[in-house]
Amino acid sequence: MKKLLLFSLLVLFSTQAFNNKASNPIEGWKNSIATLSGKFNISIDALQNAVKVYQQLKLAGQLNNQQFLTIADFSKPSSEKRLFIINMEKMELVFHSLVAHGRNSGKQMAEKFSNKMESYQSSIGFFITGNIYKGKHGMSLQLEGIEAGINDKAKQRAIVIHGADYVNDALIKKQGYIGRSLGCPAVPQNQVNDIIQTIKGSSLFYIHAPDKTYLQKSNFIRNQG
């Protein structure tokens, strides 16, 4: 009788473990970062950092929109599509787009970052998407910087996602890089509405760059196991 009970419990736990893994595909990321990095053409460091923090904030109940994870991979030049919006339920790339950096962060590459007012540089690190509003650039999406001393002045600096005419392939052909913003991660005009509607409602947005100062200061990065 005891052996039968033990066998029944083992079957139950095995079934639950299988069902949990099947219903939670994010578990599959742990052994697939390198594969997905190649599949999406995204920096392995960007993907690894973003996924780990996404898991952390999801478990903490801080992401109302858990379906999508957005990464702006500033280890790439602005002449490449470096904005990635990933469906975390299906592990699929749903948007792959150009995205601008701040005019004082660099020309083709974003190399300097700031949390200061009127620096006209991009901020780096992790953000939560906020409210949609209509501003001077049309439909825009607020970003709340969640890293103290690194990007927490994003709202004061009006760092938002918006569309811009200077984010296009024609400028790349003409000068080798897209136009630059005053610090906002601006996206193409013909994609901005769909992008905003997809990631609105408290989803995670990560601006990645191989910046040593950030990597040393960020509690999110330093606390990763």
The domain that holds 111 is classified in CATH as 2.40.440.10
pLDDT, average across residues 172-185: 98
pLDDT of residue 13: 32
Q: Is pLDDT of 163 > 60?
A: yes
Q: Does the structure show a pLDDT above 80 at 127?
A: yes
- 9 found inside a domain: no
Mean pLDDT of the chain: 89
Residue 181's domain comprises 32-222
pLDDT-derived band at 1 (thresholds 50, 70, 90) equals very low
User: What residue has token string 């990933």?
Assistant: 86
List of long-range contacts for 45-49, beta carbons under 8 Å, 24+ apart: 45/75, 45/208, 45/210, 46/71, 46/73, 46/75, 46/206, 46/208, 47/71, 49/206, 49/208, 49/220, 49/221, 49/224
Per cent of the chain over pLDDT 90 is 81
Determine, yes or no, domain membership for 52: yes
Predicted local confidence at residue 46, as pLDDT? 97
Residue 134 lies in a domain: yes
Residue 17 has pLDDT above 60, yes or no: no
Q: Is residue 149 part of a domain?
A: yes
Q: What is the pLDDT of residue 28?
A: 56
Confidence of residue 29 (pLDDT cuts 50, 70, 90): low
d(CA 53, CA 204) in angstroms, rounded, equals 9
Residue 95 binned pLDDT confidence (cut-offs 50, 70, 90): very high
Total domains, the chain = 1
pLDDT (tens digit per residue) in 142-153: 999 999 999 999
The arithmetic mean of pLDDT across residues 39-62, rounded, is 96
Dist CA 193 CA 141 (whole Å): 10
Instruction: Please say if the pLDDT value at position 162 is more than 70.
Output: yes
Query: Taking residues 190-213, what's their average pLDDT?
Result: 97
**4-8, 76-80, 99-103: range with lowest mean pLDDT:** 4-8
Q: What angle do CA 93, 94, 99 make, to 5 degrees?
A: 90
